Amino acid sequence: MSFKLGLTGSIGMGKSTTAQMFADASCAVWDADAAVHRLYAPNGLAIAPVAELVPDALNGDTLDREILRDAIRADTTLLPKIEKIVHPLVGQDRARFIENATADILVFDIPILFETGGNKAMDAVACVSVDADTQRTRVLARGTMSEEDFQMILSRQMPIEEKRALSDYVIETDTLDHAQTQVLAIVEDIKRKLQNA
């Protein structure tokens, strides 16, 4: 029986780096964003149904994410329709991961874990967190997102204070060493729970 740990946090909080730390500690990690990328990859399962909603975004056997993003910005009803297509496909991807995983601890890297109710399927939740200034600096330093894009994403996510309050573990990602220490402590805590189960 594997332990399911949800890993969440807001954009720019260091979730991907933290997920890698869990992987390095012999946990099996499933990444929701990577699953979405697979669905949008050439011949991915989301391409045809999403292209029906936004035909202009279809570019050969892929979707132009820039055109898709602009369409979502222009039409507020579009995102829920796309989510209705993509979320079940992501769920199928996650189910395949669970079926094939052999590790004792399965980590589910899901940015909108609480927003989608995914936390109910977890044995525990860890939230990565950092102060708002550091978060903003990290996101804008990537050079892939404007301040407006960043604010739009934040507006769709639960405030980090709420995520922290709802989580079983909070991982401060102010430094790599600090985050690493906390990840290893969580892994040890879960291993103790598994031994005592």
pLDDT in tens, 54-85: 999 998 888 888 899 899 989 989 999 999 99
The topology (CATH level 3) of 1-27+104-197 is Rossmann fold (3.40.50)
Best CA proximity match to 122, nearest among 181, 172, 166, 185? 166
Condensed to tens digits (0 to 9), the pLDDT of residues 134-191 reads 999 999 998 888 898 888 888 888 999 999 999 999 999 999 999 999 999 999 999 9
Torsion of CA 26, 32, 38, 41, to 10 degrees: -130
- Determine the pLDDT at residue 65: 83
Q: In the chain, which residues fall in CATH 3.40.50.300? A: 1-27+104-197
Degrees (nearest 5) of the Cα angle 12, 128, 133? 45
Query: Which residues does 22 contact at the CB level (< 8 Å), separation at least 6?
Result: 5, 7, 29, 105, 107, 183, 187
* The predicted structure's pLDDT at residue 154: 87
| Residue 71 structure tokens | 């369409």
Indicate the pLDDT class of residue 21, thresholds 50, 70 and 90. Answer: very high
